[in-house]
Amino acid sequence: MHSALSDSSPVQAAATPGAAAERRVGLVLLLACVALVAAASVFLWQAREATLRQARQTSANLAESVLDHVEATLRESDAFMALVARTVQAPYEDGGGATQALRDEILRHVTERPALHDVYVYDARGALLVSSYAVARYETSARGRPFFERHRHSARDDLQLGTPYRTEPHGEWVVPLSRRLSRPDGSFAGVVVGALSVEHLQQYLARFELGPDAVLGLMSRDATVLVRRPFSEAAMGASLKDSAAYREHYGHAAAGTFTSTSPLDGVRRQYSFTHSTAYPVLVVVGLSREHLLASWQRSALLNAVAVAVVVAGLVLAGLYNHRMLRAQRHLTRELQGSHRRLAELKLAINEHAVVAVTDVRGRIVAVNERFCALSKFSPEELIGSPHSIVRSDRHPPEFFKEMWRTIARGGIWQGQIENRAKDGSTYWVDTTIVPFLDERGKPYQYIAVRTDITELRRIQQELEAAHEHLAHSNEELARLAAFDPLTGLANRRRFDEALDEAWRGMRREQQQPLSLLMLDVDRFKQFNDGYGHPAGDACLRRVAMALRGAVRRPGDLAARWGGEEFAVLLPHTDAAGARVVAEQVRRAVQALAIEHRQAPMGRVTVSVGLHTLPAGSDAPAAALVEGADRALYAAKHNGRNRVVALQDLPQEPPPAPGPEQAQATPARVEPLPA
């Protein structure tokens, strides 16, 4: 190192120490071992506390994030249910009842918002007035339900959460959200209930990776379990009001963190919870204590082993020095060897690190060769100059003021700095500045040890650019959504993918048929011309809802083919089963009773064509579409509002297309009567 400081003088031979010197050496070694063990213990304890503190912050942030989502879901559901309540109350004031428009609004809302599983409106006797289903449901009476009895005996008009229960007939878990309906005189008129889907909330909670034995749950304010991840049948609706967690934490604070053993599964966890200020719910995040401290325990074990090794080494060194103190020659040789090792260490540091020493005024008093090579200044140019000679314009003045405040107090400063070389180029260094203190504890010099990280910074910038590009790509993928924005059904692109998958599956299994329904809204062009395009869009949405209600089997896919045409893919379904589904769809659309003055029946109807590829068929997927398309044309040609299968048709080709079909479905040429 180039320096204005002189090297220390050679070590002189020491006099042979006596027994007192040996005892002092032994005492120093003992104190060193004790200090090392104490320092290691303090360090490990601080690391443990830091691990738990970070886990507390992480779980608290997660609880807040989940609560925001739950509040948004409840707020949206509450607003819709309040709208339903006002809409229902208005007919009561006029002496009427629930309207078709109200049912349509409920159907539209439930379709567009999967968080609400069902919506029901009950009268004062508990009888079902209207629901999100067009046909009668099993939930025809609310009498005996806790939410019904609660509202019947309370005049409060606010959103209330009930105990989770299973709906009929499929047994889905839901959380009832309820509002009171009141007559003009304030008397009880009924209840509007929204069944919040537990499955929807479970899917949201499943997005978070929390580690083994972790729990993430939603509870009511009185500590009734509403949703829990991982899902537990026994936990649904369980009350924790008698638990120590409720008595000591949930019932007394708006938010907090504590450690406890779960009364449900016996796992000891660190819990973070936060109450909603808007709704009677709280979110609880529980992280396994064992999992949280697993990494720390491994590190603590390694550190303990290392400390034990060091202490053992110190003990052995003490025994060795005890012997060496008896011989001056051995001591001198050991000291000389220490000086050689110090020189080697100095050489190693000079080869690896960028080192500079400055006085308290910031003037350079010593630099090594790597400093000169990196800054492109000569030692003569650097020594005696202020260290700001290599300062760039990257960092604000406050950055350096804070650095000087730290080291002037005797503290160690660490950070990354961009410096400027003599030729104007810049470079980044990871810097540690350590003050040299005098006997009064005041700094008299500072040594800065740096590592060149210019290349690392460049790689980091490239990674950031790659991450940004990946984010743009993900946004593009999200934009290419697989669903039609008007109807909420699968779009043509998703249908094509599903058709290809189903056809390949049929070819692999060789024992399952594959059916396809093609639907067309009858006289839709006249409907658009007579009622306008907004009404036409509303008509398509309602037809899509009816289609979705009729096609419920897992694996089946309902899609919007284009315009007023729809398609239903039915894997593992023969021609007879496909005909049953087609008739259900046709009747469901007809049951909507959408007015259509230009139609013979005075309402909107659909024509359905179906085609089936039997098990073991070698026909391509395009043959399935072409066959269903031909059957659809035949249904339109033979009077509409009917179901026709390709196998029902004669072999001769149909007549030429008429003008209505040509205008309504420009994607195909279909001869329809005017």
CB 418 within 8 A of CB 428: yes
Residue 17 tokens, joined:
């120490």
Determine phi and psi for 434, rounding to 5 degrees: -120, 125
The two structure tokens encoding residue 271: 């819990």
Class of domain 51-313: alpha beta
Average pLDDT over residues 248-277: 86
Give the C-alpha separation, 492 to 302, whole Å.
59
HSE-CB of 360 using CA atoms within 13 angstroms: 9
**Under a CB-based contact definition with an 8 Å cutoff, are residues 119 and 108 in contact?**
no
Question: What is the b/e burial string over 435-452, where b = at least 16 CB atoms within 10 angstroms of the residue's CB?
Answer: beeeeeeebebbebbbeb
- How many Cβ atoms are within 10 Å of 324's Cβ, its own excluded? 18
Q: What is the pLDDT of residues 546-582, one digit of tens each?
A: 999 888 888 899 999 999 999 999 999 999 999 999 9
Contact between 578 and 612 under an 8 Å Cβ cutoff? The reply is yes
The span from the CA of 89 to the CA of 96, in Å, is 10
Q: How far apart are CA 319 and CA 313, in angstroms?
A: 10
Q: Is the predicted pLDDT of residue 615 greater than 70, yes or no?
A: yes
Task: Report the C-alpha gap between 567 and 516 in whole angstroms.
Answer: 7
State the chain's mean pLDDT as an integer: 83
Can you read off the two tokens belonging to residue 64?
Answer: 């807040």
Instruction: Grade residue 496 by pLDDT with cuts at 50, 70 and 90.
Output: very high
Q: pTM of the full predicted structure?
A: 0.41
**What would the mean pLDDT of 649-663 be, rounded to a whole number?**
52
Q: Where do runs of H (alpha helix) occur along 379-491?
A: 379-382, 397-408, 454-479
The β-bridge relationship of strands 606-613 and 565-571 is: unpaired
Over 3-41, what HEC string results? ECCCCCCCCCCCCCCCHHHHHHHHHHHHHHHHHHHHHHH
* CA–CA gap between residue 503 and residue 571 (Å, rounded): 8
* Banded model confidence at residue 9, pLDDT cuts 50, 70, 90: very low
Start and end residues for every CATH 3.30.70.270 domain found in the chain: 492-664
Select from 440, 266, 336, 469 the least CA-distant residue to 10.
Answer: 336
Predicted confidence band of residue 665 (pLDDT cuts 50, 70, 90): very low
User: If we measure between CA atoms, which residue out of 636, 643, 577, 580 comes closest to residue 610?
Assistant: 643
User: What count of other Cβ atoms lies within 10 Å of the Cβ of residue 97?
Assistant: 13
pLDDT digits (tens, 9 = 90+) for 220-253: 888 889 898 888 888 888 888 888 888 888 888 8
Give the CA radius of gyration of the chain: 39
CA 385 remoteness from chain centre: 54
The CATH number of 337-460 is 3.30.450.20
Write the pLDDT tens digit of every residue in 338-396.
888 877 777 777 777 889 999 999 899 999 988 998 999 999 999 999 988 999 888 99
Cα 204–chain centre separation: 8
Q: Are 615 and 512 in contact (CB under 8 A)?
A: yes
How far are the Cα atoms of 30, 41, 301, 307 from residue 36, in angstroms, in the given order? 10, 8, 15, 7
The residues, any chain, with a CB within 8 Å of residue 326's CB and separated by 6 or more, are 16
pLDDT band at 15 (very low <50, low <70, confident <90, very high): very low
Rounded Cα distance between 169 and 140, Å, is 12
What is the DSSP-derived secondary structure letter of residue 490?
Answer: B
Residues in the chain: 674
Task: Report the pLDDT averaged over residues 266-288.
Answer: 89
CB atoms closer than 10 angstroms to residue 49: 11
Residues recognised as catalytic: 564
CA dihedral 238, 244, 250, 252 (to 10 degrees): 140
Q: 373: how many CB neighbours lie within 10 A of its CB? A: 12
Q: Where in the chain is the domain with CATH 3.30.450.20?
A: 51-313, 337-460
Average pLDDT estimate for 497-525: 91
Fold of 492-664: Alpha-Beta Plaits (3.30.70)
Q: Which position has the token pair 């029902």?
A: 648
DSSP H or E run through 420: strand 413-420
* Residues 6 or more apart in contact with residue 211 via CB below 8 angstroms: 287, 288, 291, 292
